[in-house]
Structure 1
């Protein structure tokens, strides 16, 4: 039976912050520095860095002094999902907080997560992700970055679903983490790692855990792969291609992830008429001819109308086209593997 962190006790929860890393020494230090500024008592949390076989001298962090207990673990390269589990195995805290090595958290991050867990008990609590697009190429922040609206310091956690789970901003009790099966890799590859959050989220949902987002637990995401339209499109293509592994594992998830709702094949007998029209429109707009035209128009609009709503729509259509292409090509590959 799962234990609950829900409590009226004023004593702080013990927390283990787990950070997998691979050749991101500079970015990792920014993450560790942000954890040094936490309002949460330093004696009540530890930080576990799992180096997934990198060769950039990440182990130099052991020579640095931090106000919290820092544990460095090195393993052979096995991927970030395995690295998260390695950290969880070595953890001592009652609450596990998973972070990516390109995330910088605000000073109240741990305090806000802990408060939500104490209030809601058996639950997965997420931080609030804000994309930071430094040195963006061809993209303006107001166009592609979701703006975080400041909340009052006592803002309540917001109810969300397992679909919102992202493995780099997730927190869960240690007991519940292992009872639902820990992190489970689908296959190797960047795109497949992205679905690790929904994978564990869906299993938590099956075990009847609640899902909450702490609006004032801010996670600033410094992701260089999102700094240009081209790199963002390629990331979305890989992620969409890989989602078939998630659907193969959990067929019930098909149709539940909003970004793919109009990218899936038309189900003529099941889909409502408006959805059929949406899917047909997406197919047409994602054809090679149309996509070439949209991509050719993008730099022109960026130059002459960089703050226009037209550019916003153009970005969305181009990115959606890559999502459609990745989804369809991944589906064809999956069907080929099943037949083989």
Structure 2
């Protein structure tokens, strides 16, 4: 209704929000991919494709094999009396240092097949391995079963691992061991296909002569027995330094190494035992890519921890809010029940002020519902604020007694209200939107709390008239659950921040104290209410004073309405921010009302995109049953709260079926509204008036309920 300086709304923040969301999702997905690491023995390897026949050179050859792209195979075995101890799945911050200590104790060296993800988590351990004379081979990035993966994924696994090791140690690995591999005679067709691709990428595949299966923790003696080669023979021995409790492995090494050393065995690396060339130095590009990968992995893990903590905090705050709402609702219900037993009293003449701008679709129903009120001595003042659709003409043609029309040039809703206040004769003022239809007893019930001389304003109960479609049902539930539960709580806590423009009663003395309705914000009702509380007046809520309003019928119209509400509320909060440090009624408004609005209507909605991204991350990487249980629990809790709120408002439970679908579109739209409003507020923009196009839903409701 009001004329504001129009400023083009910025668009870049939507791009920034999209980029932020994508980066957030990418970081979480990387963490989910990295964290999906299973230790040896956590389950059976996934079945892969057959991969064709396996050459006899593989199954009958030595443990160190080079497979060409043409499937040619050359194999080698460790020399006599030479043991290559190999350790898979590390580095592990607990067990790798203990194993290194045992090896150092006996002057032995080993080969560590490490996963890229673990190297990124503990690069200092990878460097220690190399610095102490051991060598590092690749074991994929996340301990993936290469035989069950497509070729592109195999290549990615090995490339990421190579970069991670290059960044940590400065060298590129040339040895690799496929996870879930064992001795050569266990290689099947799918595993051979993976070995062939690794060979084409320049890797030397290291299997084992002796698989100790120490991951099963069979006991120290069983591990020692499984590791001992045939008399005088060399061997590649498979052990593990990560993936679980490796205490038995550490103890077995303390037995195995000195026992075999006393028999003339030497313990060395695979490369040294076979006289292979040292691994090549990594290029600067490889080191930088590995470093970037490590930072990204650390960032993803950090995001997971931060968002996990945020989700926990949000859940705790949500449950605390719900508990306070329910407790306050029960208190308020008992209070209202006691008051409802008292007979309605005539409190003097009431002036109803209806500011109207292009409200021809509903204005007749609004005025007729007010005239039909059972409250005596009621005057209705319609202030036409420069309408161009004949709103004032509609009212004048009705020729209803006690109804007056004032025409003025368009100056905005606050100015229209102040005009009506100036012409009103009653000491009690009811302010009504031009699309609102009152129940016959609404005015009488609305003004009853004004019997208390401390009460300066009363909020009525606004209900959605057009609730047939999904959007209408969602708004109906929002009004019942959010608005009315919140108002009951605010009433009990004596910090009501808003008397809605659709239905509110005011004492003239209170209006005079704050010098009428201010035009400094777009949420004039919130600004006005906060000013009344800061002036020392009490504001209450009476749920039995019911008015029906027309809610937006499209997402575009809903966006415009909520955008104005949210932006105006932020303006009002900023305007009355000093209430946070004041005492008395103003302090209650500041420390209770404003803090609540800031937390639950600004800060948490601004973080909502992170919650949704975290939810998508859960769908992709967390167990489906766990994700479904969390979502179902959240939905059931919402349904119970909604059911309780509907019961308090004496509404039917039918719309509850639409509640789960509200999480898909409606909730995200409301969060985006808060984001857009916050950006405009930070930029200091002046939002133009977003008028809602009326379709006459309030009129239809009045006609349907008219006897």
Asked if Structure 1 and Structure 2 have the same fold, meaning a TM-score greater than 0.5 normalized by the shorter chain, the answer is yes
2:375 maps to what in 1?
40
Counterpart contact for 2:373–2:440, Cα < 8 Å: yes
The corresponding residue for 1:231 is 557
Contact 2:352 2:429 survives alignment (8 Å) = yes
Residue 284 of structure 1 pairs with residue 622 of structure 2 = no
2:415 aligns with 82
Shift of 1:119: 4.2
Could you say if the C-alpha distance between residues 247 and 286 of structure 1 is closer, same or farther in structure 2, counting changes exceeding 3 Å?
A: farther
Counterpart for residue 295 of structure 1: none
Matched, 1:73 2:406: yes
- Residue 184 in structure 1 maps to residue 510 in structure 2: no
Quick check: 1:16–1:47 contact (8 Å CA) kept in 2? yes
Structure 1, gaps ≥5 residues long: 1-7, 150-157, 266-277, 291-305
Please state if 1:319 is matched with 2:669: yes
Q: Which runs of 4+ in 1 moved over 6 A?
A: none
Q: CA deviation at 1:216?
A: 1.4
Does structure 2 retain, via aligned residues, the 8 Å contact 1:239–1:326?
Answer: no
Which residue of 2 is the match for residue 139 of structure 1? 471
Q: Which residue does 1:299 correspond to in 2? A: none
For 1:326 and 1:84, how far apart are their aligned partners in 2? 28
1:164-187 deviation line (CA, Å, top 9, x unaligned): 322332211112211222100015
Does structure 2 retain, via aligned residues, the 8 Å contact 1:38–1:106?
yes
5+ long unaligned stretches in structure 2:
1-342, 482-490, 580-589, 617-655, 687-707
Which whole-Å deviations, capped at 9, do the CAs of 1:103-142 have from their partners, x for residues lacking one? Answer: 0000001111232212455321111111122564x5252x
TM-score (norm 1): 0.72
Q: Distance in 2 between matches of 1:9 and 1:37?
A: 17
**TM-aligned CA deviation for residue 242 of structure 1:** 3.9
Larger helix share, 1 or 2: 2
Partner-residue secondary structure (3-state), 2:516 = coil
Q: TM-score, normalised by structure 2?
A: 0.36
Aligned 8 A contact 2:467 2:475 in 1: no
Where in structure 2 are the equivalents of 1:40-119 lying within 5 Å? 40-41=375-376, 44-60=377-393, 61-66=395-400, 68-119=401-452
Which residue pairs with 2:532 in the alignment? Answer: 204
Give the Å deviation of 1:233: 2.9
Q: Is the 8 A contact 1:236 1:326 kept in 2?
A: no
The two structures, once aligned, show a CA RMSD in angstroms of 3.1
Question: Alpha-carbon deviation of 1:49?
Answer: 0.5
- Label 1:240 to 1:70 Cα distance change in 2 as closer, same or farther (>3 A): same
Q: Which segment drifts farther, 96-105 or 68-77?
A: 68-77
Query: What is the CA-CA distance between 1:82 and the residue it aligns to?
Result: 0.4
User: How far 1:257 moved relative to its partner?
Assistant: 6.3
Distance between the aligned counterparts of 1:10 and 1:308, measured in 2? 41
